[in-house]
């Protein structure tokens, strides 16, 4: 598996070169959000707003009203917790094309509870006019820019930084409201997003060797959540559905899938994996994913629960799985 180092840094500079309307606002986390070099490249389009997120939202709104496309860069928690009223009333209500780029989603930060955005998707889903995107690999970090740019409304992005795996082929960019079908099977359907997709790819590979067939969909658009492939994949699952999310199980991906199951009368069992209505604490990502059941091992246990029998997949089986970038299975069906 290819690991890409800081994919946003150069990509965003290149992407913004022919888009003079793109401006960046930052609240004292410029290098932490991989836009330090962007600032030095386009100093006239970069605005340091200091540690003042409420005001930053208003400035972004005003700039958007004047025809600019502000890309607000800060940690995900500081986008929706402290300045939520400003986000809702200054940006979301007037439906302005502000891009809110939230770094360190969920438990990807060792910064502890103050830095872990664990209910952001729930809150943003409940916010009218908001589009929600989540990046799961380097290809998505690179191509979420075009996906967000094409939306005329506000967009919230769960962004990855630092060392990011490339799971998806470079020639398959993120597409708005389109799930990536990563594997197809009949027993259980799995939905993942962001960093949980790599975990699920480990689990599905190991499960296949034990004769369990899995449909696996990677979600990069949390809202809108109307891709027909989602309901089709749910309906096709013989034993049930598992969601695995880097977020609380309330209001995020698991809830979105539950809504589709209920509203479309699909009558499938659902196991929601994620933070179980709890805050986390400061520790390594690997440790937290294991401790809170967000990893491949937790996914295997959930599948066993649905099919009603052990699979025999062990921790060492999961560790041995090698992940290669995949072409979406959806492409063949030309969805």
Partner 1 sequence: MTAHRAIDWTQQAQRVADNIRRRVFEHVMKNNGGYLSQACSSAEIFAALYTRIMRLGPSEAPLIPPPFAGVPGPHNPHYISGGAYNGPRAPQYDRFIFSPAHYALVLYAALIEVGRLGESALDHFNQDGSTVEMIGAEHSPGVETTTGSLAQAISQAGGIALGRRLKGEPGRVWVLMTDGEFQEGQTWEALAALSFYRLDNVGIYVDVNGQQCDGLMASVMNVEPLCARLETFGARAFEVDGHDLEALAAPAELAPDGRPLVVLARTDPTRGIPLLQERAPELHYLRFKSAEERDRYQAAFEALVKEG
- The reply to whether 58 sits near partner 1 by the rule CB under 8 A is yes
72/296 with CB nearer partner 1: 72
DSSP one-letter string for 210-268: TT--EEEEEE-EEES---HHHHHHHHT-SSEEEEEEEEESSSSHHHHHHHHHHHTT---
57/261 with CB nearer partner 1: 57
Q: What's the rounded Cα separation, in Å, for the pair 120 and 132?
A: 10
In the bound complex, what is the minimum distance in angstroms from residue 53's beta carbon to partner 1? 9
In the bound complex, what is the minimum distance in angstroms from residue 173's beta carbon to partner 1? 23
Starting at the edge strand found earlier in the chain, the sheet holding 214-219 runs 180-183, 214-219, 188-193, 240-248, 270-275
- The reply to whether 61 sits near partner 1 by the rule CB under 8 A is yes
94/310 with CB nearer partner 1: 94
Instruction: Tell me which residues in 245-264 interact with partner 1 (CB under 8 A).
Output: none
Q: Is 3 helix (H, G, I), strand (E, B) or coil?
A: strand
User: 191 near 219, Cβ under 8 Å?
Assistant: yes
Piece of 90-98, 115-123, 138-146, 310-318 that binds partner 1 (CB under 8 A): 90-98
- The reply to whether 55 sits near partner 1 by the rule CB under 8 A is yes
- The reply to whether 84 sits near partner 1 by the rule CB under 8 A is no
In the bound complex, what is the minimum distance in angstroms from residue 35's beta carbon to partner 1? 18
Instruction: Tell me which residues in 121-150 interact with partner 1 (CB under 8 A).
Output: 128-129
Q: What's the rounded Cα separation, in Å, for the pair 333 and 335?
A: 6
Please, which residues have CB within 8 angstroms of residue 89's CB and are 6 or more apart in sequence?
none
Among 2, 50, 226, 315, indicate the residue that binds partner 1 (CB under 8 A): 50
- The reply to whether 184 sits near partner 1 by the rule CB under 8 A is no
- The reply to whether 62 sits near partner 1 by the rule CB under 8 A is yes
- The reply to whether 66 sits near partner 1 by the rule CB under 8 A is yes
- The reply to whether 310 sits near partner 1 by the rule CB under 8 A is no
53/227 with CB nearer partner 1: 53
Q: Is 156 helix (H, G, I), strand (E, B) or coil?
A: strand
Identify the CA nearest to 187 among candidates 169, 209, 212: 212
CB atoms within 10 A of CB 257: 27
**Burial letters 221-237, b for 16+ CB under 10 A, else e:** bbbebebebbbbbbbeb
Q: What's the rounded Cα separation, in Å, for the pair 23 and 21?
A: 6
85/259 with CB nearer partner 1: 85
Among 63, 130, 273, 302, indicate the residue that binds partner 1 (CB under 8 A): 63
Instruction: Tell me which residues in 28-47 interact with partner 1 (CB under 8 A).
Output: 47
132/195 with CB nearer partner 1: 132
Among 46, 59, 71, 103, indicate the residue that binds partner 1 (CB under 8 A): 59
H or E, element range at 132: strand 131-134
Please, which residues have CB within 8 angstroms of residue 68's CB and are 6 or more apart in sequence?
21, 22, 23
- The reply to whether 19 sits near partner 1 by the rule CB under 8 A is no
Piece of 89-97, 137-145, 197-205, 318-326 that binds partner 1 (CB under 8 A): 89-97
Q: With DSSP H G I counted as helix, E B as strand and the rest as coil, what are the percentages for the chain, rounded to 5?
A: 40, 20, 40
In the bound complex, what is the minimum distance in angstroms from residue 55's beta carbon to partner 1? 4
Count of residues that bind partner 1 according to CB under 8 A: 31
User: 241 near 269, Cβ under 8 Å?
Assistant: yes
Length reported for the chain = 335
Residues forming contacts to partner 1 in the complex (CB under 8 A) are: 47, 49-50, 52, 54-68, 70, 85-86, 89-90, 93-95, 128-129, 152-153
């Amino acid at each position: 598996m290819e690991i890409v180092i800081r994919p946003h840094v150069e990509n965003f500079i290149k992407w913004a070169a022919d888009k003079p309307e793109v401006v960046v606002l930052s609240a004292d986390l410029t290098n932490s959000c991989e836009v330090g070099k962007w600032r030095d490249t386009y100093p006239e389009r970069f605005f340091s707003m200091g540690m003042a997120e409420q005001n930053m939202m208003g400035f972004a709104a005003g700039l958007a009203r004047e025809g600019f496309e502000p890309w607000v860069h800060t940690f995900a928690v500081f986008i929706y917790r402290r300045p939520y009223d400003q986000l809702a009333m200054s940006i979301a209500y007037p439906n302005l094309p502000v891009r809110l780029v939230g770094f360190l989603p969920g438990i990807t930060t060792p910064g502890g509870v103050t830095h872990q955005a664990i209910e952001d998707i729930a809150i943003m889903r409940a916010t009218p006019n908001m589009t929600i995107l989540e990046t799961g690999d380097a290809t998505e970090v690179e191509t979420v820019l075009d996906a967000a740019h094409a939306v005329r409304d506000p967009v919230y992005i769960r962004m990855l930084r630092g060392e990011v795996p490339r799971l998806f082929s470079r020639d398959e960019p993120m597409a708005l409201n389109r799930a990536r079908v990563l594997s197809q099977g009949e027993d259980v359907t799995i939905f993942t997003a962001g960093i949980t997709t790599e975990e699920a790819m480990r689990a599905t590979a190991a499960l296949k060797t034990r004769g369990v067939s899995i449909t696996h969909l990677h979600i990069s658009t949390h809202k809108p959540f109307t891709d027909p492939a989602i309901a089709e994949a749910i309906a096709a699952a013989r034993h049930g559905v598992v969601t695995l999310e880097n977020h609380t199980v309330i209001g995020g991906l698991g809830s979105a899938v539950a809504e589709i199951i209920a509203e479309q009368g699909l009558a499938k069992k659902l196991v929601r994996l994620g933070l179980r209505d709890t805050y986390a604490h400061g520790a390594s990502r690997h440790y937290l994913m294991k401790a809170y059941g967000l990893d491949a091992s937790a996914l295997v246990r959930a599948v066993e629960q649905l099919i009603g029998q052990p699979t025999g997949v062990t921790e060492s089986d999961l560790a041995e799985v090698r992940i290669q970038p995949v072409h979406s299975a959806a492409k063949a069906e030309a969805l």
